[in-house]
Structure 1
Amino acid sequence: MMEKIPTQTGARDQLMNDLKSVIADAEVWLRSGTSLTGEDLKAAKEKFERTLVGAKDDLMRYQEAVVEKTREAAKVTDEYVHENPWRSIAIGASVGLLLGVAISRR
């Protein structure tokens, strides 16, 4: 089972670091690709593939963390609406009115 990253910020930072690493490895590989042969080429390719797989894994973990946070927010919102239906209607109507006024002034 995948290890869950505790915060979205931490996951985003790790993902950005991995993507920067993938880009750096790709640049090195492209620049030296014509001069690499045999084992050097194989090692460079393997390193690039490992970095790419790591970035994909981090992206999946980040996506899972975002989905989980969204589910939690939806659950809390649903509970609030069920516990406070009239207040929720008033809030929704107020937001709708404000948006309508803002749009009509353009």
Structure 2
Amino acid sequence: MDDMTMVQKDKLMGDLRTVISDAEEVLRMTASEAGESAADLRGRVQARMHQAKDELRHLQEAAVAKAKAAGHAADDFVHDNPWKSIGIAAGIGLVVGLLVSRR
């Protein structure tokens, strides 16, 4: 998965959390409203919020599982190719050092 997709997924998760929070606030503010239609609307909104929370949890669990898989793959690569890993780390360190020293 590329970085742009991860950024979009993170933004989507943040936006969904905001919407859920706002909906919960609206439900608290309208709790004193009387009437059958208001109660029905609150019930439908609460059901959809619970569904959105479940979907958000599943999305988060999938993202964590993918991150763990990537971590395990990196760990396996380092164990299988220790000298390549040292070379790559040294190269990255050299580039970062050059960039920092320029400032």
- Normalized against structure 1, the TM-score is what? 0.67
Q: Distance in 2 between matches of 1:95 and 1:37?
A: 64
Instruction: Specify which structure has the bigger relative contact order, considering alpha-carbon pairs within 8 angstroms and separated by 6 or more residues.
Output: 1
Q: Please tell me whether residue 50 in structure 1 is matched to residue 47 in structure 2.
A: yes
Per the TM alignment, residue 37 of structure 1 is displaced from its structure 2 partner at its CA by 3.2
Per the TM alignment, residue 54 of structure 1 is displaced from its structure 2 partner at its CA by 1.2
Q: Percent identity at matched positions?
A: 44
Query: Which of 59, 65, 78 matches 2:62?
Result: 65
Q: Please tell me whether residue 41 in structure 1 is matched to residue 38 in structure 2.
A: yes
Q: Which runs of 5+ in 2 are unaligned?
A: none
- RMSD of aligned Cα (Å): 2.9
Q: Please tell me whether residue 100 in structure 1 is matched to residue 97 in structure 2.
A: yes
Corresponding letter in the other structure for 1:90 = G
| Structure 1 match to 2:80 | 83
Q: Of Structure 1 and Structure 2, which has the larger fraction of its residues in helix?
A: 2
Report the secondary structure of 1:59's partner residue. Answer: helix
| Runs of 4+ with deviation above 2 angstroms | none
- Normalized against structure 2, the TM-score is what? 0.69
Q: Distance in 1 between matches of 2:76 and 2:34?
A: 62
Q: Distance in 2 between matches of 1:100 and 1:58?
A: 43
